[in-house]
């Protein structure tokens, strides 16, 4: 028990974290008259949201009408979510999401600086499931001028390296789709994007960083500007250490500010929005499928799960701790974060094989499913964690893969490191990567047959509308399947990586943290990846992580401060 008068600082709502969910909660709380403070343990704000694609999955969103799409309904959205979450998420939480997601989006558009557009071609990840849609539930941020942030731009966490052209030039998700799949006009688009970057003469004198922000940087930049408009502070390099309790209620937290432990009161509550535990090897090994490593994540290195552990110490229940927002990754020597293969994994002229040299899945499936299949099918006899991504010379010349841009020479250092393997024959490649040459040759022969027929009779690659979204529209009869028949042949090792973990503290439909008994821990709220995922074990579509984080941040603010 603590003396409520011994606080060094006091606010109405104390938020631990500085990603999109935290910022959305802060904006709405401030507009409802609350005094708000955000704590960020690292030197940069934005968390994994800033590093992400920046998309939001918002059913029935108001932006759809701008594209002439009016056929989405809350009933269809609920049908879809109930189906894909398989009864593992309370229906009332899904209902709160469907009801409030569109409200949150429209509010932040009208009252703050958020500026998004719908993506009519970006299908739900399971469009054939009842209630699934062929596009427009996902939306992404318009480009954002970083100069509006002033000095705060330098404190914004940067995008993941894989989301930038040559490691520095930004592109929207829509532009990335066309550039990475080699869509018609992609060369002209690349020139346009590059010219925009180099015409920012003042910016080039200041740094290599692109000031025309896209993806997660645009999203967080827009939200940060909204906080600056409202004079809402973010204390950087101020890690949360422990909760302050009074009669079993969370009334604040102790943080470390400039080496000094300070007591901060949250009069109405403390909101945890600090991400998952993907960068904590010990927690990964405890909860996630094996094998796993923190080196395989693409997410914020600051996400180490201590807020989840502190919640558990209060008796909080947890859920979905064995899951992550999965995606196949390649670990490039010398790079700080893994690179996820979102696009290249399903482009024609490539395949994934296990330790026997055999295909074992649909490479064009949603990236979340790729890793689930890899773990489910992993065995001593046929290792799929890790597996191999195999492609041929035309693939390398036309598409990006890992750190390589189309046609880019392979550095001697990467060859010598064993990162990439190359051979003039399939059998030679098989020997290099330690798989059965006959099996690999047979797998290639089958793929070449599927390329002619357009039908993958083993794993149905290219059958789903989602598969085809990231296919090459110039390739027929199946945009996801092409022959692997032109030397040299290449292989890189692939691991089950992630965009963050999805397990965390159990919460109710108002994002209040729950004990194992179902009892509420008064004063404590959790959203985003430090809470048990609203989407349960699944991934509805692009933005299925940030959309719920922002929505339930908004819900918390309204629960606490709306009369």
Q: How far is the C-alpha of 127 from the C-alpha of 184, rounded, in Å?
A: 25
Q: How far is the C-alpha of 468 from the C-alpha of 105, rounded, in Å?
A: 28
Stated as kind and residue range, the H or E segment containing 191 is helix 186-198
- Check if the beta carbon of residue 240 is closer than 8 Å to that of residue 255: yes
- Check if the beta carbon of residue 181 is closer than 8 Å to that of residue 473: yes
| The pLDDT of residue 181 | 82
Residue 332 or 177, more confident: 332
| The pLDDT of residue 173 | 87
| The pLDDT of residue 5 | 60
Q: How far is the C-alpha of 497 from the C-alpha of 503, rounded, in Å?
A: 15
Confidence tier at 266 by pLDDT (50, 70, 90): very high
The pLDDT mean for the chain works out to 95
Q: Tell me the mean pLDDT in the region 7-13.
A: 98
Q: How far is the C-alpha of 191 from the C-alpha of 208, rounded, in Å?
A: 18
| The pLDDT of residue 2 | 42
- The span from the first CA to the last CA of the chain, in angstroms, equals 30
Q: How far is the C-alpha of 481 from the C-alpha of 454, rounded, in Å?
A: 7
**pLDDT (tens digit, 9 = 90+) per residue, 294-328?**
999 999 999 999 999 999 999 999 999 999 999 99
Query: 3-state DSSP: the chain helix, strand, coil percent, rounded to 5?
Result: 35, 20, 45
What six digits make up the tokens of 376? 């489910």
Q: Is the pLDDT of residue 553 over 80?
A: yes
Q: How far is the C-alpha of 21 from the C-alpha of 188, rounded, in Å?
A: 36
Domains of the chain, first to last? 1-156+211-323+502-563 (3.50.50.60), 327-498 (3.90.700.10)
- Check if the beta carbon of residue 141 is closer than 8 Å to that of residue 214: yes
Q: How far is the C-alpha of 563 from the C-alpha of 561, rounded, in Å?
A: 6
- Check if the beta carbon of residue 273 is closer than 8 Å to that of residue 527: yes
| The pLDDT of residue 68 | 74
Q: Where are the alpha helices (DSSP H) in 7-138?
A: 20-31, 47-51, 74-85, 91-111
Nearest to 345 by CA among 365, 363, 319: 363
Is residue 315 helix, strand or coil?
A: coil
Cross-strand partners of 514: 520
**pLDDT (tens digit, 9 = 90+) per residue, 421-477?**
999 999 999 999 999 999 999 999 999 999 999 999 999 999 999 999 999 999 999
Q: Is the pLDDT of residue 201 over 90?
A: no
**pLDDT (tens digit, 9 = 90+) per residue, 63-104?**
998 777 768 999 999 999 999 999 999 999 999 999 999 999
| The pLDDT of residue 103 | 98
**pLDDT (tens digit, 9 = 90+) per residue, 345-360?**
999 999 999 999 999 9
Is residue 309 helix, strand or coil?
A: helix
Q: Where are the alpha helices (DSSP H) in 382-534?
A: 393-398, 412-416, 426-433, 437-453, 465-469
Confidence tier at 1 by pLDDT (50, 70, 90): very low
Q: CA geometry: angle at 46 spanning 40 and 294, to 5°?
A: 85
Q: How far is the C-alpha of 280 from the C-alpha of 214, rounded, in Å?
A: 28
**pLDDT (tens digit, 9 = 90+) per residue, 21-63?**
999 999 999 999 999 999 999 999 999 999 999 999 999 999 9
Is residue 497 helix, strand or coil?
A: strand
Peptide bond into 87 cis (omega under 30): no
Q: Where are the alpha helices (DSSP H) in 215-263?
A: 215-229
Q: Tell me the mean pLDDT in the region 152-173.
A: 90
Q: Tell me the mean pLDDT in the region 217-244.
A: 98
**pLDDT (tens digit, 9 = 90+) per residue, 493-543?**
999 999 999 999 999 999 999 999 999 999 999 999 999 999 999 999 999
| The pLDDT of residue 323 | 97
| The pLDDT of residue 70 | 67
pTM score, whole prediction: 0.95
């Amino acid at each position: 028990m603590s003396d409520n008068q011994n606080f060094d600082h006091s606010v109405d709502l104390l938020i631990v974290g500085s990603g999109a969910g935290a910022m959305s909660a802060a904006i709405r709380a401030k507009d409802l008259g609350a005094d708000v403070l955000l704590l960020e343990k690292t030197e940069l704000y934005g968390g994994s949201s800033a590093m992400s694609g920046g998309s939001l999955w918002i059913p029935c969103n108001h932006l759809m009408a701008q594209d002439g799409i009016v056929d989405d309904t809350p009933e269809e959205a609920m049908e879809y979510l109930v189906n894909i979450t398989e009864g593992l998420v309370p229906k009332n939480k899904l209902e709160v999401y469907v009801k409030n997601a569109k409200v949150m989006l429209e509010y932040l558009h009208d009252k703050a600086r958020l500026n998004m557009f719908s993506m009519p071609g970006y299908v739900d990840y399971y469009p054939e499931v009842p209630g699934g849609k062929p596009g427009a539930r996902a939306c992404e941020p318009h480009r954002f001028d970083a100069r509006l942030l002033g000095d705060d731009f330098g404190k914004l966490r940067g995008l993941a390296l894989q989301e930038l052209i040559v490691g520095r030039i930004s592109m929207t998700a829509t532009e990335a789709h066309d550039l990475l799949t080699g869509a018609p006009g992609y060369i002209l688009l690349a020139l346009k994007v590059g010219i925009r970057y180099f015409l920012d003469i003042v910016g080039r004198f200041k740094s290599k960083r692109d000031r025309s922000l896209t993806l997660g940087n645009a999203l967080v930049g827009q939200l940060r500007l909204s906080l600056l408009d409202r004079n809402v502070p973010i204390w950087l390099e101020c890690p949360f250490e422990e909760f302050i309790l009074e009669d079993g209620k969370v009334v604040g937290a102790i943080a470390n500010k400039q080496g000094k432990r300070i007591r901060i009161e949250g009069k109405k509550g403390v909101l945890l929005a600090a991400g998952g535990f993907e960068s904590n090897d010990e927690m990964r090994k405890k909860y996630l499928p094996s094998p796993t490593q923190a080196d395989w994540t693409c997410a914020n290195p600051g996400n180490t799960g201590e807020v989840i552990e502190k919640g558990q110490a209060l008796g909080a229940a947890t859920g979905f701790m064995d899951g992550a927002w999965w995606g196949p990754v390649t670990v490039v020597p010398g790079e700080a974060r893994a690179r996820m293969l979102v696009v290249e994994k399903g482009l024609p002229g490539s395949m994934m094989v296990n330790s026997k040299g055999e295909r074992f899945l649909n490479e064009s499936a949603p990236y979340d499913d790729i890793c689930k299949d890899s773990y489910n099918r992993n065995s001593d006899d046929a290792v799929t964690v890790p597996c191999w991504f195999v492609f041929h010379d035309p693939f390398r010349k036309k598409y990006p893969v890992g750190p390589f841009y189309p046609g880019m020479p392979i550095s001697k250092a990467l060859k010598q490191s064993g990162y990439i393997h190359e051979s003039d024959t399939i059998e030679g490649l098989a020997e290099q990567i330690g798989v059965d040459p006959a099996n690999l040759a047979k797998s290639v022969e089958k793929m070449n047959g599927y390329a002619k027929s357009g039908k993958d009779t083993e794993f149905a690659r290219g059958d789903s509308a989602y598969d085809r979204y990231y296919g090459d529209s110039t390739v027929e009869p199946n945009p996801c399947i092409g022959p692997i028949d032109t030397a040299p042949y290449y292989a890189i090792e692939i691991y089950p990586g992630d965009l963050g973990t999805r397990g965390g503290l159990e919460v109710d439909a108002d994002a209040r943290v729950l004990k194992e008994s179902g009892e509420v821990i008064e004063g404590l709220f959790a959203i985003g990846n430090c809470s048990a995922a609203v989407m349960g074990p699944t991934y509805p579509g692009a933005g299925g992580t940030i959309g719920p984080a922002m929505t339930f941040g908004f819900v918390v603010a309204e629960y606490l401060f709306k009369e």
